[in-house]
Every structure is written in structure tokens, then in C-alpha cells.
A = this chain, B = another copy of it.
Amino acid sequence: MIKSINHYLSNAGKRMKRSAIREILKHLQKPGMISFAGGLPAPESFPVDDLKDVVLEIIENNGPDGLQYGTTEGDPLLRKLLVERHNRQGLKLTTENLIIVTGSQQAIDLIAKVFLDPEDYVLCGLPSYLGGLNAFTVYGAKLKGITLDEQGMKTDELEETIIRLRELGRRIKLLYLIPDFQNPAGITLPDNRREKIIQIAKKYDILIIEDSPYREVRFEGEPQKLMQEMDPSGRVITLCSFSKILAPGFRVGWIIGHPLIIDKIVMAKQTADICTSTFVQKVIARYMQKGLLEKNLEKTIALYRERRTHMVSCFRKYMPEGVRWTEPQGGLFLFVTLPGNIDANDVFNKAIERNVAFVTGSTFFCNDTGRNTMRINFSFSNEEQIETGVQRLAEVIREEIESK
């Protein structure tokens, strides 16, 4: 019997590890646990009844087609509907600019495969979405984090970092951004900073990944422009997803970009999974055609707005002095900063004992900083759970502060 597989592994295989968040999620099986940990949509936001009708229609009218292999680019109708929807919102796309993928995690993986060799650099926010960072590092890429201020990525630091890395002879391939309701920091980049970042990327010939799963989950305020819309040069690759606006269980997202880039991603996807489920693509296309996406999105936004507002009011009510948090205009998360001498890992261990979970912020910092930060999800828990969970969390934090 094989005792170890280490000597068979590729360098990528050796670099793979279980996600830290995944390990946290194990604790969530415990009865009575209130979870602010995952980035899970509210089950109440899933349009079960509407989907029932749509799924029936697809099986009755598109049965065999919806069960057959499809093209790698994606279902033609779904691509057309997405292109039209984006164009109504200000983009100027054709279907050559768009490919359907198996969730936007696959988008990140395919882009990493197409562009990243070992030792290539990816610039990212401090902090950034862990699933993105892990996908890049499996391919051997080096991550370099750029500090965020209240408006997002600091452009002076970005440019200085690029200059310094280039002086050292490093190849910088990608700049990874989550411009709207950044995961985990909750920050939205203003238009002028988007412009500035695009200028810098152009000057130093770097591709931008605009990861945008939360953009449409906006509770208030005016949306900024998609960086895709601002950049005429084709260097922005935008990742979108149905996971937060419809249902993650379908595993459907899409990529918008320059036709040359999309064409290469098609080739990458062909050997990765041939095509995304034709069945769920047809279900989503029909769902969109019936105008149900906008209807459900409105409902979801209202629900999350309430939960965000309630979460923030509980934070105000219960949190001890010295704790700061974001009050985001959209998305799924608050980002919490504890006093500098408090380690969120200690808070985490005690919180788990009191049946409340979150994700330590340091998980999202590629330079292992942010040890006094926490990511708190508000989409998954109901009002009562939010109140009780924040109370428990506040108690633990208070005890930690008082013990120092």
C-alpha cells in the first residue's frame, strides 16, 4: 500500500494546501453555532418557487439539448442575454467578449493557468479574497500585497512597488482587484482611483483582474463604473458570478475581456471541464429571459440591507471601545479592526467555544499581517442570530482587551 505520495507530486501539487477558511468551516457543524464565517448567501434569498417553474420549462422544452454536451464558450442564449444586460449598463460587448465558466473561482484558475509561470508576480490588496490568492500561488506565482486605505488600493504604493519589483528584475503579470465591496475589506474603489490604477497598469503593461461578484449587491449610493468600461485598451478582465445574485449551487459565472484573452481562456477551459453544465446554463438563461433575475436581486438586496443595518447597530450596541468596523454600502461582509495588541486568532478560539464563528482577517493578508482583524459575514444569519452572535463576540473581545 502506498504510504506517501510526495515523490509523485508536481511542484503545484506540493504547493497545494487546504484552505484556512475550509478548516474553520469544520467548526460550523457544532450544534448551536452562529456562523459569521463563510461567504454564504442567505438560503431565504434563493428563488425556489420561480426556479421550479423555470426548471420544468427547460426539461419540457429543451430536455435533450439541456442534457447534451455544450460549447466551451457557453450556452449561446445565456451569453447573448448577459452581453445585452451589460450593454444596457454601459459596456459595449459582443459575445466574443464573454465566456461562461463554472463559477468565478474557475475564472481565476483559468486566468492563472493562461498567464502565470512560477515566480511571476501578482499584485493584490492587503487584504484580498483568499480563494483568489490560493489559486495564484498553486501556479507558483508570488504575491505582493498593496495597502488599502478607506478608498481602497493606494496608488502611490502600487506604483512604487511595481518600480521596485521591476528594478529587481521581477515579472509582474497581473493586478488582482475586487473593486466593489472588496472581500474582505468591504471597500469600494472610487472612479478616480480606478482611472489611476488603469493608467498605472497601462504604463507598466500589467493585466488587471476585476473580480466583481458583489457589485450588484448594493444597498445604497451610486455604483462606480466597472473598470472594464473605463479601459479602452482591453487589459481589464472582469469576473462576474451568479453565486451572490442567484445561487452558488449552480456554479455559473462569466468572464468579460478582450477577444484574444477570451479565446485563450476557451482553450484553457476545454481541457479543464469541456463546458459548464448545459442544463444549469439553460435554466439561468430562461430565468433571466422571464425577468426574474432583477426581481430576485431586488429582494436579496433588501434582505441583506436589513441584515447589514442590524449587524452594524448590534456592533454599535455591544462592541467595547477600541474596536472599529466598516459599514459597507453593499456586499456580504463587515471588516473589523481590533486594538493592535489583540490577536484575532485568540478571539477566534474563544469565540468558537461560545458558539460564534468568523474568519480571522490575517487569512486574507498575503504578507501575514492583519492579525488584529476579522471578517464578519452578515448575509447568512437571521436577525436573531446576528444579535446573539455579536453579543457573544463582543463579550470575548471585551475579555481579551481587559486581559491585556
The chain A residues found within 8 Å of chain B, CB to CB, are: 1-2, 4-5, 8-13, 16-19, 22, 38, 40-41, 43-44, 46, 48, 51-52, 55-56, 59-60, 63-70, 72, 102-103, 105-106, 108-109, 113-117, 120, 131, 134-135, 138-139, 173, 207, 232-235, 243, 247-251, 258, 260-261, 264, 266-268, 270-280
Contacts and interface: CB of A to CB of B under 8 A. Distances in A.
A286 to B, nearest CB: 13
Given A10-B114, A55-B56, A105-B273, 8 more contacts: A12-B113, A16-B267, A18-B267, A51-B59, A55-B55, A67-B248, A103-B274, A131-B271
Contacts of A232: 1
A74 to B, nearest CB: 12
Contacts of A108: 271
Contacts of A10: 113-117, 120, 139
A69 to B, nearest CB: 5
A103 B273 contact: yes
A72 to B, nearest CB: 8
20 contacts: A2-B260, A9-B114, A11-B117, A13-B264, A17-B267, A41-B68, A43-B67, A51-B67, A55-B59, A102-B273, A105-B274, A113-B138, A131-B274, A134-B270, A134-B271, A249-B277, A249-B278, A250-B277, A251-B273, A277-B277
Given A1-B233, A277-B250, A13 B67 contact: no
A379 to B, nearest CB: 12
B106 A264 contact: no
Given A10-B116, A12-B114, A271-B131, A5 B261 contact: yes
A18 B247 contact: no
A276 B105 CA distance: 11
Contact of A68 (B19, B106, B235, B248): B248
A56 B22 CA distance: 31
Contact of A13 (B8, B44, B59, B115): B115
A-B pairs with the 5 shortest C-beta distances? A43-B64, A67-B247, A48-B63, A249-B278, A16-B267
A69 B249 contact: yes
A66 B113 CA distance: 30
Nearest to A279: B249
B12 A249 contact: no
B114 A272 contact: no
A41 B68 CA distance: 7
A242 to B, nearest CB: 10
Contacts of A66: 249
A264 B233 contact: no
Contacts of A103: 273-274
A2 B69 contact: no
B270 A18 contact: yes
A340 B261 CA distance: 42
A235 B2 CA distance: 7
Contacts of A5: 258, 260-261, 264
Contacts of A43: 64-65, 67-68
